[in-house]
Every structure is written in structure tokens, then in C-alpha cells.
Amino acid sequence: MLRELLTVARTRRPDGVTLADLLVQHGLIEATELAPLLPRVQRTLSSPERFWASFGEEHETIALGAAGAQARVGPEAVNAAETEIGAYRIVKPLGQGGMGLVFEALDPNGRAVALKCAKPGERGGHAERLRREGLAQARVPQHPNVVQVLEQGEHEGAPYLAMELVTGGTLGARLRERRRLEETKARQIGVELARGLGHMHAHGVLHRDVKPANVLFSAEGVAKLVDFGLARFPGMITVTETGEVLGTPLYMAPEQALGYKSQIGPATDVYALGIVLYELLTGETPFPAPTGAHTLTRLVTESPAPPSSLRPGLDPDLETLILAMLAKTPNDRPSLEQVSEALEGADLATSGIQLAPQPAPAVPKAVRILLAVGLVTLLASLALLVWIS
């Protein structure tokens, strides 16, 4: 469709036919909805990185431990003269991401820790989110399935977090190596993550960015949640812009994608955990798409394919559990306690888990606009490239 529209636009350019005309003619957007979007598209073409960053496509998040250090940290990430941050002596870099840098360091007693700090010169939103991450994790008492924060501080005006050093690599790295896991192992990881999330929720903290890159393993193979950069808790200070969509599109719940803040709660993390389980068992996420905007549209408007269609022979009860976790409506999803019980083998009926009917929802206007902006931007970018060539 995109290639066809672009070809038509090029051939009919002398007739004054534009991409916008074709989008309206093919029913991809209404003219009344397109008009106010055109100025935004123009701004997007002048700064596309800002547009896509608003959909959380700047990833992966910081990875701790040996698995996260591979080809992630360039020499520019570390100031050779910077051997200490606060009371911590830097040993080596471990990883970097959109939110900052991670080092292995030694505390004053010689204990190895992971030190997460803002990038040099960073004083904006990322630094504030790192401060918020520390506040969020400080609210959560020690738990075997949550990475522990040991100290929060500042060095030359930039925040840092000292955390337990977790050396077993990330779940994301394991999936890249193996693509999918055995059912027994997937169940075990699911139980550990459900317990970690339940502990967080019991202390008023929502993670809001559960995904394989944010799951670390201890040397003993225990799964631990990390990266509270998007966590929400009572009394938190908002550092996002109005209308900004936060999270990773592939793992976002519909209420996150649509910006329904009043509906974001524990069930939002249940949905993300369901996506992770789906991926662990099938090797794929349920709503892959070329761009974040298209992924968000799919997860809001489509039902996921049954995991057994990608992995024949999957336990039917496990499939029912995962699909229940991926219900479009938060109230239709099971609780984390129910999820943990079901993953450990409890009967679904006994646990009170049932798959609610999931009729295909009507496409909300907000989603049509979201898709249209992404589509118009893509087509306009392609047209620009063709024109230049």
C-alpha cells in the first residue's frame, strides 16, 4: 500500500495530487482530521528523532551485568580522568542507554556495586527521571526479585544510584541467543516476576516498563526487575510533557498507548508481563510492526494470535492465562497473585481466571490520528528521498 501510494503521488505530481489527497481518497484518514496534522508533520520532518522518541522507541534500556556490556559502551562514554563518583571508585563500564551510564564500581568497603549515573552534562529530563527512579526504588523494601538500591546521591550536580551488582545478564540477551524458552523455565521466570511486581505494587509503585531488557538474572539464575525510570508512585513529580506516551510500544498496555492515565494501575504491569510470557514461549511479541506508532495501533485494535499458533502443543491452560493477561480492559485481567498461582500449576477455575470475550474494538479517533501521523510522516520521508534521488 505505501509503495503504491508513493508511486501514484510521483506520477500525478504534475496534476497537483498530493500524498494527503491519496490518504483521504483511500480512507486512511478523514480530511477534517488531516488538516490540523499537516503542521505537526512538517515539524516532525524537521526533527523526526523527537517524534519517535515520544513513542518510547529509544531503547534498549540500560543493561547491567556482563551481558549488557557487549558493544554498548564506546570510549566517549567514560571520562578517563573520572575514576570516582561520590564515594565509589569506578572499575569498568557496563552499559549505557537513553537514561544514562552504568559502571561496575567499588564502595568504600571494597564491595562491588552497579553505579548508574546521568550522562556527562545531562541536567534535563533524563537526570530528573534518574532521581525519580531512585525515589521509586527506595520505596520498595528488599525483595529477591527486585534489584536493590543501596544509595542515591549526586556527584557534581548529577544524580547517581548505587545498586546491587547483578551479573547473570538480561532476559533480553537470553532471548536473542535462544529465541524462546522451555515452558518450565518460562513459568519459573513468570512466577518470579509476578512476585517482584506484587511486592512493588504492595508498596505503591507501578513499574510501567516491564520487558526482557529490564529483567536481570543473579549468578544463581534468579530473575530480578530493574529500571524504575518510568515507575509511578504516590507523590511523584511528573517530568514528562503533556501528551507524551511513555513506555516501550511492544510491551505497552492499551490504556498506556491511549494515554488513559486514570486506568493505569497494577493491571497495566500484568499486561506487560503477559507480553513477556508470550515472547518467552513463542519467540515473538504479539503485535510486531515496522514502527512504534503502528505497534500501538495494532495492540489497541487487534486481538493477539493464540500462542499455540506459533508454538503447537502449548499447555491450553497456559495459553488461556496469557490471553487473559492480554485482555484489552484492565478489569478483565487476572491479578498477579492469580497469575503466580496459575503458573505454578493451579487450576484456572480454582484461581478464578477466565478468558473474557474480546470483541474487536472500534478504532478510536485518537488512534486513527496516531496512525495517520506515522503514515504521513513515513510517506513524506520516502517521497523526499525519492525526490532527492
pLDDT digit string (tens) for 145-166?
Answer: 999 989 888 888 788 889 999 9
pLDDT band at 240 (very low <50, low <70, confident <90, very high): very low
pLDDT band at 144 (very low <50, low <70, confident <90, very high): very high
What mean pLDDT comes out for the span 250-259?
91
- Between 87 and 238, where is the model more confident? 87
Inform me whether the pLDDT recorded for 167 exceeds 60: yes
pLDDT digit string (tens) for 37-48?
Answer: 555 444 433 443
Domains and CATH numbers, the chain: 2-46+366-388 (no CATH), 66-164 (3.30.200.20)
Please tell me the total number of residues recorded for the chain in this structure.
389
pLDDT at 189: 97
Q: Report the side by side order of strands in the sheet with 158-164.
A: 84-85, 88-97, 100-106, 112-117, 158-164, 149-155
pLDDT at 28: 57
Among this protein's residues, is 347 annotated catalytic?
Answer: no
d(CA 285, CA 274) in angstroms, rounded, equals 10
Inform me whether the pLDDT recorded for 1 exceeds 80: no
Cell numbers given for 45: 520532518
**Cα 141 → chain centroid:** 24
Inform me whether the pLDDT recorded for 142 exceeds 60: yes
Q: Which of the following is catalytic: 15, 21, 107, 209?
A: 209
Inform me whether the pLDDT recorded for 367 exceeds 80: no
Concatenated DSSP letters of 65-94: SGGGGTTT--GGGS-TT--EETTEEEEEEE
pLDDT digit string (tens) for 51-73?
Answer: 334 333 333 332 333 333 333 33
pLDDT band at 186 (very low <50, low <70, confident <90, very high): very high
Mean pLDDT for the chain overall: 75
The percentage of the chain sitting over the pLDDT mark of 90, rounded to a whole number, equals 41
pLDDT at 53: 40
What mean pLDDT comes out for the span 271-280?
97
What mean pLDDT comes out for the span 109-117?
93
Inform me whether the pLDDT recorded for 365 exceeds 80: no
Inform me whether the pLDDT recorded for 241 exceeds 60: no
- Between 32 and 315, where is the model more confident? 315
pLDDT at 25: 62
pLDDT at 187: 96
pLDDT band at 30 (very low <50, low <70, confident <90, very high): low
Helices (H), the chain: 2-11, 19-25, 31-34, 38-46, 48-53, 125-138, 171-178, 183-202, 254-257, 266-282, 292-301, 316-325, 336-343, 348-351, 365-388
Closest CA to 137 of 264, 232, 240, 239: 232
Of 96-100, 140-144, 258-262, 291-295, give the lowest mean pLDDT range: 96-100
The percentage of the chain sitting over the pLDDT mark of 70, rounded to a whole number, equals 63
pLDDT band at 368 (very low <50, low <70, confident <90, very high): low
- Between 225 and 240, where is the model more confident? 225
pLDDT at 154: 86
pLDDT at 243: 41
Of 327-341, 349-363, 369-383, give the lowest mean pLDDT range: 369-383
pLDDT digit string (tens) for 82-107?
Answer: 588 889 999 999 887 656 789 999 99
| Cell 485481567 belongs to residue | 333
Inform me whether the pLDDT recorded for 263 exceeds 80: yes
pLDDT at 88: 94
Cell numbers given for 357: 470475550
